[in-house]
């Protein structure tokens, strides 16, 4: 993976802008319907994204060595339009924290002790996959750029296929779809957020139920 292109803070900013642009045309849809294959509504799924990004930013900023209380736990008073702006703000905060982190900075995540790029890639994947969940439920199109998807997938899902459609590879690794030669993963899919040189060559699996189940 020495020729891999890294995931950058600008990638996270781009992904947040893509998510907002994809979902703004659906503001007049029914956001109380369940997001695809989830137990959260579309609005709850969107509200989760700033929670996740804030958790990543707080852990990276504090160099957390273990679990810490989440700095944000939803905001039921916000409109969907406001939540899309909050999403961009949360992404900008995580991007700025990653930019300011000295080389070699590590911090706790349940999937491993992540570096700054690991947090950025997880943030990108959270936004892309959950935007797709919402878009599918609300009937709006969403397909991010292949090169962007490839960088994210290579970083946190190194076991995913490198050939073929990279958006499909990211969605497969995130448990959303099956591929012609790979079964649909169950809810215990997980990512590799520690530096890639620490990957042991196996598929990482979740050891606790996901929050959305």
Distance CA 213, CA 196 (A): 28
Q: Which pLDDT value is given to residue 163? A: 87
Beta-bridge partners for 205: 189
With CA atoms as reference, report the closest residue to 57 among 114, 130, 128, 125.
114
Q: Which residue has the tokens 């900013």?
A: 13
pLDDT tens track, the chain, 213 positions:
557 899 999 999 999 999 999 999 999 999 999 999 899 999 999 999 999 999 999 999 999 999 999 999 999 999 999 999 999 999 999 999 999 999 999 999 999 999 999 999 999 999 999 999 999 999 999 999 999 999 999 999 999 999 889 999 999 999 999 999 999 999 999 999 999 999 999 999 997 777 655
Q: Which pLDDT value is given to residue 4? A: 87
- Coil, helix or strand for 27? coil
**In terms of residues, how long is the chain?**
213
Instruction: Classify domain 9-198 at the CATH topology level.
Output: 1.20.120
């Amino acid at each position: 993976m020495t020729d891999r292109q890294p995931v950058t803070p600008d990638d996270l900013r781009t992904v947040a802008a893509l998510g907002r642009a994809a979902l703004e045309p659906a503001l007049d849809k029914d956001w109380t319907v369940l997001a695809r294959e989830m137990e959260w509504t579309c609005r709850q799924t969107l509200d989760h994204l700033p929670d996740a990004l804030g958790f990543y930013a707080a852990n990276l900023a504090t160099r957390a060595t273990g679990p810490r209380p989440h700095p944000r736990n939803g905001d039921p008073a916000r409109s969907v339009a406001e939540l899309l702006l909050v999403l961009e703000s949360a992404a900008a905060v995580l991007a700025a924290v990653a930019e300011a982190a000295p080389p070699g900075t590590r911090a706790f995540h349940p999937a491993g002790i992540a570096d700054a790029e690991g947090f950025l890639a997880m943030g990108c994947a959270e936004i892309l996959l959950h935007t797709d969940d919402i878009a599918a439920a609300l009937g709006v199109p969403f397909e991010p750029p292949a090169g962007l998807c490839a960088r994210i997938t290579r970083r946190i899902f190194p076991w995913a296929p490198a050939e073929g459609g990279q958006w499909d590879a990211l969605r497969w690794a995130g448990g959303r779809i099956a591929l012609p030669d790979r079964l649909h993963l169950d809810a215990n899919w997980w990512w590799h957020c520690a530096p890639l040189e620490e990957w042991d060559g196996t598929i990482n699996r979740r050891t606790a139920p996901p929050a959305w189940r």
